[in-house]
Amino acid sequence: MKKKILSTVLAGAMVMSLAACGGGGNSGGGNSGDSAGGSSGGDKGGKLAVAIWDNGQKAGLDEIIKDFTEATGIQAEIQVITWDQYWTLLEAGASGGDMPDVFWMHSNEVQKYMENDILMDLTDRIAASDKLEMDKFPQDIKDLYSWDGKTYAIPKDVDTIALFYNKTMFDEAGLSYPDDTWTWDDFYDAAVKLTKDDGSQFGTAMNPSNEQDGWMNIIYTMGGRVLSEDKKSSGFDDPNTIKAMEFVQKLIDNVMPPATTMAETGTDVLLGSGKIAMLSQGSWMVPQFKEHEYIAENCDVAVLPKDPATGKRTCLYNGLGWAVSAKTPNPDAAWQLVEWFGTKDMQLKQAQLGVTMAAYEGVSDDWKNNTDKFDLQPFLDMREDTVFRPATRATLTWWNPMVEILKESWNGNKPMADACAEVAAEMNEAIAAE
């Protein structure tokens, strides 16, 4: 099928905060907030400065902070900072400037912050707490925020990936909605039927930077891997990984908008503009999507497709952590706030308010009821077979080059098998240098 250039201008493009748990770019981790300003630690005894990068979660977290202030008398204020600026400001603060008192940590970045004494060691405070139940949090996330026998962040949330689909487009094409019987072959066949020759509509969209929320799920579902189990080598030379990525290439060639359109516009904007019929996306996007008139009216959610050969269905998951600056002038107050965020009651409230799925065991079942605009059960069902988001000691040293190399295949300049070989070599060199 010859790819057509979008013939109409994308009108009313939405500005979204692409939240919390993916990587960089315009995927689940290319995240935008409502403030480009800096965030600095409060004066001793003053208001705590809290930094996050997802504006979609702010309203719910403000409610939780309001409860905290009423219970303790301690005030705190959230500042939302764009994803890229967030890490720039934290790095500047770690080098001698001001840092927020409390802030989010991510698997991409946390190791260097723990190793360089930038985060407060919470180990003894956790041990003395009568409010936290650390055994109720996923071990993968606890391990992520621990180093050298010490703990540096309290788990905040978990996320999974599911499939948003446009019911109106399916109805117009006379197609049945995606369900738990679908394989990736079924996905492809439907995407072909939903792609119009005039370039006005495509079956799906996915950027190289849609890693956790996009193509990495296909890799693991089809038996491949991004990283070896011992985290010492790349999985991009695995035959199953190459097979999965060549399937992604087929999607790129036949059922996606041009790579330049996806890169410039963003896959979430394409969904909200009625330009694509299906989009795999993280649970962190629900707060934004449920407030988007077009998506809320036309779309719903299904589980990700299965591997046609094995019937296996897998998605990546991740989780953020609440951390405290090692240099905060308000250590006791800052600790009380992250402790508060980690209690069962506040984890439950986070889920009920629809902020995001909670890290605390069992309470995310209430998250699916935070809106009646979508059936969110598929996000919970995807927890049955998950793989933790690939990370090493210095993830970004190979993650960013991986995305750049894959862009060459998205743009039609390099066969996907060649790109996989190049990624494997780049990863292995970077991991060896760690």
> Is residue 236 within 8 Å of residue 253, measured between CB atoms?
no
Q: Quick one: pLDDT at residue 187?
A: 98
Counting as low any pLDDT under 70, the low residues of the chain are 1-45
Q: Quick one: pLDDT at residue 327?
A: 94
Q: Tell me the two tokens of residue 260.
A: 């330049």
Q: Quick one: pLDDT at residue 365?
A: 87
- The residue assigned the tokens 């407060």 is 120
Please report, for residues 19, 85, 91, 328, the alpha-carbon distance to residue 99 in angstroms, rounded to integers and kept in the order given.
21, 13, 9, 8
- State the average pLDDT for the chain: 90
Q: Quick one: pLDDT at residue 24?
A: 39
Q: Quick one: pLDDT at residue 20?
A: 41
Residues 6+ apart with CB under 8 A from 43: 329
Nearest-angstrom CA–CA distance, 312 and 321: 30
Q: Quick one: pLDDT at residue 95?
A: 87
Task: Read off the DSSP letter of residue 163.
Answer: E
Burial code (b: 16+ CB inside 10 Å, e: under 16) for 192-227 equals ebbbeeebebbbbbbbbbbbbbbbbbbbbbbbbbbb
Helix (H) / strand (E) element for 323: namely strand 321-324
Indicate the burial class of 87 (C-beta count within 10 angstroms; 0-12, 13-18, 19 or more).
middle
* Closest-CA residue to 56 (of 12, 15, 22): 15
Q: CA-based angle 270:273:274, to the nearest 5?
A: 90
